[in-house]
A and B are shown apart, each in its own frame.
Chain A
C-alpha cells in the first residue's frame, strides 16, 4: 500500500562507522553474577518502596544494606556497564532499559506484612558491619536463582576464563 523511497543521501562514511551491537555480547558468568546482584538490589529497593505503603519503614535497613555492600554493588554496576558496551549514550540507554525491565519484573507481587518483614530482616542481616560479599551473594542466589539478562549466556564453564 505504502511505498517509501529514501530520498536523502546518508553519508556512507557515517554508515561505515556504525558500531557493532554491543548488546549482542554474550553473558559470561561474571556478567550473570553481576546481573543477579543488581537484580537483588533492585528487588530490595522495590520492597523498600512498596512496603512504605503498608506503613512499614525499611529505608533505614535498606540504607545500611546499601552502605555495607556498596563495594560489591558498585562492582556489579561496573561489570554491567561493561556488558552493555561502556559509557556511551546508546550503551547507557540500554543499561537503563535493562534496569527498568528488571525493576518491572519485581513490581508485581503485592507487599504483605510477611514479605515486608522478610525483606526487612534480609536488609538488616546484610546491613551488618561485618557482612561479606559471600553473604550478599548467598542471599542474591536465594532470591534470584535466575537473573534476567538480555541476550544469551556465553558457552563456557564456570572454570573457563
Chain B
C-alpha cells in the first residue's frame, strides 16, 4: 500500500506555479484557469468534474492522510470523487486504507427504444436508474494495480496563449502526419529539420525514450475510439390551430410529423449505439486493468453525453407532440352556405 508522500498542497503548488509560469510567458489563459480553480472550479459539463478537481484528486489519491481527503471534500463536497473520499476517510478512521486505484463499477448507458410509425414512451434499460443517460465514472488516473511513487503527481495541463504574432508554419518530418499549421512560414523553415540544429544524438535519445514506452499501449489503443455520430438537426413542427379533416391530419402526420420522428429516432439510435460501443471499450479497459484507457473513454463519453441527452429529449418531446397533434380539433373548412 502506498504511503503518504508529499503533501497535496505542495504538489498542487508545484503544478500551479508552473502553470502560472507558462501563463506569464504566453498569455493569461492559464492564469485565468487557475483563478477559476482557486474560486472553486465549477464542474465541467462532461460529468467528470473540472480538470482542477481531477488534479486535486490525483494529488491526494495515494495518500493515507485523512486531512487531505477532508480538504478535498471541503473544496468539492459534491465532487466526482466525493464518495471515494468519504469512503477513504471512513476507512482511514478505522486504520485501514482502501486501495485508491480500485475502479468504480460503470453504469450501463440508457437504452431508448421507440419506433417512428408508432410513437411510444421511451424505455430505459434495466440497469439505468434515474437519468436517461448514465454517466461514465471517472477512475483514478493511475496504472493498476498499484501506482508508482510519483503516480499521484498532478496532471499537468498546458494552455498556450502566446501574444498574437504572424503564424509560422510548423513543418512535419513525417509525410503521413505532416504539420502545416499555418501559412507564412518564418525564414529558414524547411520540411526536413536541419540536422545541425537538432543534435542527432539528442534526437536519437529522445526517439529511444519514446520507443521504450513513453505512452501506455492501452492508451494508444484508445485512439481507435469509434467515430462520433453526426446528429442531424430536428426540424421544429408547428401544429395548426385546426385540421379541416381527418385526412388532412393524416397528411400532416405523414408529411411533417413522421419525417421528424425518423430524424429524432435516427439521432437517438446513433447516440445509443455510440455510447454502447464506448461502454464495451470501457469494460474491456477495466477488465484489462487499463485505468488510463478507461478514463480516456469515460472522458470521451462525458463530452458526448450532452448531445446524447439532447437526442433523447428531442425524441421524447415528439411523444407529447403526437398527443397534441391528435388533440387539434377537426373542423370543416367548407364555407357555410
Using a CB–CB cutoff of 8 Å, the interface residues on chain A facing chain B are: 1-13, 15-18, 20-21, 23-24, 29-30, 32-34, 36-38, 41-43, 45-46, 48-50, 52-53, 59, 62-63, 66-67, 70-79, 89-90, 93-94, 96-97, 99-101, 103-111, 115, 118, 121-122, 125, 130-139, 141-152, 157-158
Contact = CB atoms under 8 A, between A and B. Distances in A.
B173 A53 contact: no
Contacts of A105: 215-216, 219, 292
Nearest to B238: A12
Contacts of B179: 29-30, 32-34, 36-37, 137
A45 B22 contact: yes
B178 interface: yes
The interface residues of chain B, by DSSP majority, are classed as loop
B182 A75 contact: yes
Interface of B: 6, 14-15, 18, 21-22, 25-26, 44-46, 51, 54, 121-124, 126-129, 132, 141, 143, 148-151, 153-163, 165-182, 185-186, 188-194, 197-199, 202-207, 209-210, 213-216, 219-220, 222-223, 225, 227-231, 233-237, 264, 292, 295-296, 299-300, 302-304, 306-307, 310, 312-314, 316-317, 319-321
Contacts of A29: 172, 176-180
A143 B313 CA distance: 44
A106 B25 contact: no
B153 A134 contact: no
B203 A142 contact: yes
A46 B156 CA distance: 6
Contacts of A38: 158, 160
Which secondary structure dominates chain A's binding surface?
helix
Contact of A50 (B51, B153, B165, B170): B153
Contact of B158 (A2, A3, A42, A150): A42
Given A2-B126, A21-B231, A63 B317 contact: no
Contacts of A18: 231, 233-234, 307, 310, 314
B206 A97 contact: no
Contacts of A132: 186, 188-189, 193-194, 197
Contacts of B197: 130-132, 134-135
A20 B189 contact: no
Given A104-B155, A134-B190, A137-B179, A12 B292 contact: no
A41 B156 CA distance: 11
